[in-house]
Amino acid sequence: MTREAGAAAGRALVTGAGTGIGRAVARALLDAGFGVTLAGRRRQPLEEAAAGHPDALVVTADVTDAIRVEELFAAHAARFGRLDVLFNNAGTFGPAADVGDLDPADWDATAAVNITGAVLCAGAAFRMMRAQTPQGGRIIDNGSISAQTPRPRSVAYTTTKHAIAGLTKSIELDGRAHRITATQLDIGNARTGLVDALVGDGALQADGSRRIEPTMDVAHVAELVVRLARLPLEVSVPQLTVTAAGMPFIGRG
């Protein structure tokens, strides 16, 4: 992304912006001077995340619904005119189950958000970035360290997050001609309500034990996304991993 001195930092859209990592990233982008569309299923947490920022737009949207996704990006375009950054963040942990116990309905629900939703949002962003002048933009897909190494009994989440690796690489390849870059951002144990619930009383380990794991302030993840968002489009960061120091990831199991 290139911009003239004194111009706005850029225009961004964040999915899953009402809570957790999405909320932290949306607020950090707003604080950094970006115009930001905050998208999610529930209006109240989105409005709370956007509070006090005149350059925030709140849009309720179900990312699994193609029509609602198109409406979301149309609302962003009407307000901000262009899209420089998509933080493709909406996701769900899904059920705790191995592949032998996985309920098909639970699988469908997890895949709908984590794969279909991510693809629909990336597609809408890609079309907008390809068509705008100046052309281009950056898509940051929230992968998870489970895109590299699973936790026990996480087959639905792990499988869908592995799919994000393929999505990000495809965006990066197909976006070359249009100045569109993509990053798979794999995050481990950023402190949010969901992570606290997962690891706070001891997370299940590969040997069957439970262990209280280190966590990190989600603000560090948000700061990292802002740094990515500020990079010129001559710079590509295809994959980036950030974890709480000392958590069981390298050598997990």
Residues tagged active-site: 157, 161
Give the Å distances, CA to CA, from 33 to 21, 55, 191: 19, 8, 24
The alpha carbon of 10 is separated from its chain's Cα centroid by a whole number of angstroms, namely 18
**Among positive and negative, which fits the CA dihedral 97, 88, 227, 33?**
negative
Using CA atoms, how far apart are residues 160 and 203, in angstroms rounded to an integer?
A: 20
Terminal-to-terminal C-alpha distance of the chain: 41
Give the Å distances, CA to CA, from 240 to 136, 188, 194, 219: 21, 11, 22, 16
Residue 66: burial class (beta carbons within 10 Å; 0-12, 13-18, 19+):
middle
Contact (Cβ atoms closer than 8 angstroms) between residue 15 and residue 39: yes
Radius of gyration of the chain from Cα atoms?
18
Cβ count within 10 A of residue 123: 16
Enumerate the H helices of the chain as residue ranges: 20-31, 43-50, 66-80, 104-111, 118-131, 155-174, 193-199, 218-230
The alpha carbon of 246 is separated from its chain's Cα centroid by a whole number of angstroms, namely 23
